[in-house]
A and B are shown apart, each in its own frame.
Chain A
Amino acid sequence: MRLEAKAVVVPGDDVDTDVLYPGAYLNITDVETMKRYLFEGIDPSLRDQLGGDTALVVGANFGAGSSREHVPQAMHAWGVRFLVGTSFARIFARNCLNLGLPIVTCAAAAEAAGPGSELVLYLDEGRLEVDGVAFPIPPFPPFMREIVTSGGLVPWVRGNLDATTRVV
Chain B
Amino acid sequence: MPHTLAQKILLAHTETDRVFPGEIVMVRCDVVMTNDISGPMAFRAMERMGVEKVFDPARVVVVPDHFTPAKDERSAELQKQLAEWAERQGVTYYAQGRGGIEHTVLVEEGWVVPGSVIAGGDSHTCTYGALGAFGTGLGSTDVAACLATGEFWQAVPGTIEIEFSGEKQPFVTGKDLILAVIAELGVGGATNTVLEFVGPGAEALTIDERLAVANMAVEAGAETGLFPADETVAGYLEGRTERPWQAERSDPGAEFARRLQIDLDSLPPLVALPHSPGNVVPLEQARGLKIDEVYIGNCSNGTMTDLRQAADILRGRTVRAGCRMIVVPASQRVYRQALAEGLLDVFVAAGAMVSTPTCGACFGGGTGVLAAGERALTTTNRNFRGRMGSNQAEVCLANAWVAAAAAVAGEIVDPAQMLEGVPA
Which of A's residues lie within 8 Å of B, judged by CB? Answer: 13-14, 16, 18-19, 22-24, 26-29, 41, 60-61, 64-69, 72-73, 87, 89-91, 94-95, 98-99, 141, 143-144, 147, 152-154, 157-158, 161, 164-168
Contacts and interface: CB of A to CB of B under 8 A. Distances in A.
Contacts, number: 155
B56 to A, nearest CB: 14
A166 to B, nearest CB: 6
13 contacts: A23-B387, A27-B67, A28-B74, A41-B391, A65-B219, A66-B382, A67-B137, A94-B138, A95-B141, A165-B151, A166-B26, A167-B15, A167-B25
Given A61-B187, A90-B192, A27 B37 contact: yes
B188 A60 contact: yes
Given A67-B121, A69-B139, A167-B24, 6 more contacts: A18-B364, A24-B364, A66-B363, A73-B41, A94-B142, A158-B49
Interface string B43-79: 0110011110000000000000011000010110010
A68 B122 CA distance: 8
Contacts of A91: 123, 137-139, 218
A55 B283 CA distance: 42
A154 B149 CA distance: 12
Contacts of B266: none
A65 B37 contact: no
Contacts of A27: 36-37, 67, 72, 74-75, 78
Interface in B156-174: none
Most buried by B among A16, A23, A153: A23
B28 interface: yes
Nearest to A88: B191
B14 A167 contact: yes
B49 A29 contact: no
Interface string B122-153: 11000000000000011111101100110101
A165 B14 contact: yes
Interface of B: 14-16, 23-26, 28, 36-38, 40-41, 44-45, 48-51, 66-67, 72, 74-75, 78, 121-123, 137-142, 144-145, 148-149, 151, 153, 155, 187-188, 191-192, 218-219, 221, 223, 276, 278, 363-365, 369, 382, 384-387, 389, 391
Contacts of A23: 363-365, 387
Nearest to A71: B139
Given A26-B66, A98-B142, A165-B15, A65 B41 contact: no
Contacts of B276: 14
Contacts of A72: 139
A123 to B, nearest CB: 17
A60 B54 CA distance: 37
Contacts of B50: 158, 161
B51 A161 contact: yes
A37 B36 CA distance: 19
A165 B28 contact: yes
Contacts of A147: 153
A18 B385 contact: yes
Contacts of A22: 364, 386
A14 B41 contact: no
Contacts of A153: 141-142, 144-145
A147 B24 CA distance: 12
B191 A89 contact: yes
A13 B192 CA distance: 17
Contacts of B384: 16, 18-19, 65
B386 A41 contact: yes
Nearest to B81: A29
A22 B37 CA distance: 13
